[in-house]
Structure 1
Amino acid sequence: MNAIDRTPADLLRSALAADPSRPLVTFYDDATGERVELSVATFANWVAKTANYLQGDLAAAPGDRLALLLPAHWQTAVWLLACSSVGVVAEVGGNPAGADLVVSGPDTLEEARACSGERVALALRPLGGRFPQAPAGFADYAVEVPSQGDRFAPFAPVDPQAPALVVGGEELTGEQVVARASADARERALSSGSRSLSALPYDTWEGLSAGLLAPLAADGSVVLCRNLDRLDATGLAQRVESERVTHTTA
């Protein structure tokens, strides 16, 4: 993190400038056996493509509200940083009926249909796979995003003091998100090279911070685990050792 970082997207740009090759997000789904590791550069590329899709094809603008109906997942992390890049307010678990657009996983499609704006669906299949057939009324993220540009530039500057994130019923500006994430990183003694394991959901600040934002602010990385309860104590210990985990929040 640099002193000039004022939004989550700024944090990612600083991480990319410092060391693009280091791991940033390692994702496990212990229900499917999936493991995906994204370097800073790879993660940033996904964010750029998603931000281009959000700003271009979906015509989202700063201040628009996006209901994010996704679990803790590497693709959810991508969407959060893409929203920050464009200036769109990411409402984690938000009400689709009151949102300008909605991004949904496979388990919340009926709820997401309440959104009268653009609707995007994610299959959340291993390796970012697409739906066998896109749900009616939704664009399939895995179909739409790969062809997007690898570099992103916002049409309008993002205001760090404008709303950026709603989680747990609390609205935060970009500056507040960065300040809280940085404070959490200090409290948890995270630093460059720290590797944090988190199995918390993303529907609270604690989960978002532990599973993405605090490690990002600290120039560390995160091992994000879904369905970790499928592992026994021995399996968890082996993961901590193999992934060189330094901090755990489960």
Structure 2
Amino acid sequence: MTATNKIACLIVDDEPMALSLMEDYVAKIPFLELKGKCSNAFQALEKIHEEKIDVVFLDIQMPELNGVELSRTLSKNTRVVFTTAFDNYALEGFKVDALDYLLKPYNFEEFYNAAVKAKEWFDLVANASQASFSKEEIDYIFIRSDYKQLKIKLNDILYIEGLKDYVKIWLVKEDRPILTHSSLKKLEEELPVNKFMRVHRSFIIALDKIEAIERSQAIINKQYIPVADQFKQKFQDFVGRNSLD
């Protein structure tokens, strides 16, 4: 999200009336863009893994997986505004660095003020990013694996494979991948777009490691990696820009 773009948001609550109220409030705020509404944390996780969500307006007390537990699984780029009928959760909200904490029943003004806090935070991040070096200048990342932070050179990455709550990072000259507790979405946000591309729900590939392309599959290190329909046009555009014919 940049200072000029809308904030992509998700609303999550197991009470239909509360969900409907948030939907109405979001529609009244011009800088918010509603990307979806979910009635439980598992639906929210699936949605967050599918596309980039800037902020989640999140109920805390939900069955099976509550809002605080869900928030702990999110990347640093997805922020949370908690909504709850119980004020005893406020401390938990601050522990997970929530942007704000709305106590039900809240009104539009309170919801709007929380949304403004989110906008101010993302504007600050966007301005700081413009002042710092771009991701294209990064040539390594740190990955937590086996209780260590491993430094991985981007040029050594062949492709990255998603496995629900984990990812495998396959490297040049290594028979076994590095396994880390993360998501493809989180890594996709950190990697430079001129070097890596998401081609499937389960795969990110290093563009310079493609050996051949066959039947909508990228061949890397003798592995056939499928290019899903939703990523096919972007991948074909890349191939076209780098083709001689």
Regarding TM over 0.5, the answer is: no
Which has more radius of gyration? 2
In terms of fraction of residues, the more strand-rich structure is 2
The two structures have a TM-score, normalised by structure 1, of 0.27
